[in-house]
Amino acid sequence: EWEPFAPGLKTLEDATTIRRRILLAFEQAERETDPAKRQALLTLAIVGGGPTGVELAGTIVELAHDMLRGEFRNFDTRLTRVVLIEAGDRILPNFAPELSDYASKALERLGVTVELGRPVTRCDAEGVVFGDTQLPARTILWAAGVAASPAAEWLGAAADPAGRVLVEPGLTVPGSPEIFVVGDAAHVLRPDGRMVPGVAPAAKQQGRHVAATIKARLAGDASPRPFRYKHDGDLATIGKRAAAIDFGWIKLTGRLAWWLWGLAHIYFLIGFRNRLAVSLSWLWIYVTGQRSARLITQGDDRS
């Protein structure tokens, strides 16, 4: 029931919805004469302190404080307040503690308010409630993860509280070895007891494992093939000049980490044309500080 007020970021349509809501909030703030209502329009709450929440917070505060400065006559966009709310005791919980601390300080230097240790208990058209604090915010963004697809319901299989299917070590449904579940629809544990993250690199590894298992079965080899996840590292960008990278054996922060983050994302794009277009676009933003995409393409569909 919070989804109409707090969209997530999973698809291109989600991204344009977020852009539209932010720009509409600024447009409404330009016409608003009540100081309290204007400040609510200029307050953006981001729920979830993982990589998505951290990256959104850094990007939005730079957009408001730098890129849109001077484009409105009746208010200063530097009054925009971005609040990142994390229920845990630190942001980027999958990273090493020193990288979480670096990211928190980097966000605060940009102007982001980081709130820790208090989960959100309400989202509505007026704002959010976390702990005993009520924050008036007309723009709320959800970065705390979403429920899994209803695959467990289709299959009649056991699931965890988020709806992920509790699979066997070989990624099969218990009692149905001919059915595989992968990606963020599957609850898969590492040898140390931690869950395999529901991210694209993990899903690609699981897909390759399932393909190899099916190929082996067709060749007559029905022996168990437990999945072994190889963690390639964690990356998160903080604005356009800082990032945190945790490869386990090496940890990087600052501008070098930001460039490596960008190279990693460009490398996994499909096709040279896409890589070139994104590279030139990011280079333009980095050098000029300007983002060209400021279109409000749809009306506000929030109910």
Q: Which run of H or of E encompasses 187?
A: strand 186-187
168 a catalytic residue: no
What are the residues whose beta carbons fall under 8 Å from the beta carbon of 171, sequence distance 6 or more?
180, 181, 182, 186, 188, 206, 209, 210, 213, 227
- What are 44's strand-pairing partners? 82, 139
Pairing of strands 242-246, 251-253: antiparallel
Give the closest residue to 49 by CA, choosing from 18, 1, 81, 94: 94
Rounded to 10 degrees, the C-alpha dihedral 102/265/206/149 comes to 80
Name the β-bridge partners of 189.
Answer: 195
Catalytic residue among 55, 62, 86, 115: 55
Q: What angle do CA 67, 240, 116 make, to 5 degrees?
A: 100
First to last CA, the chain: 11
Asked whether the beta carbons of 204 and 184 are under 8 A apart, the reply is no
SS3 114: strand
Q: Torsions phi, psi of 89, nearest 5?
A: -90, 0
The residues carrying an active-site annotation are 55
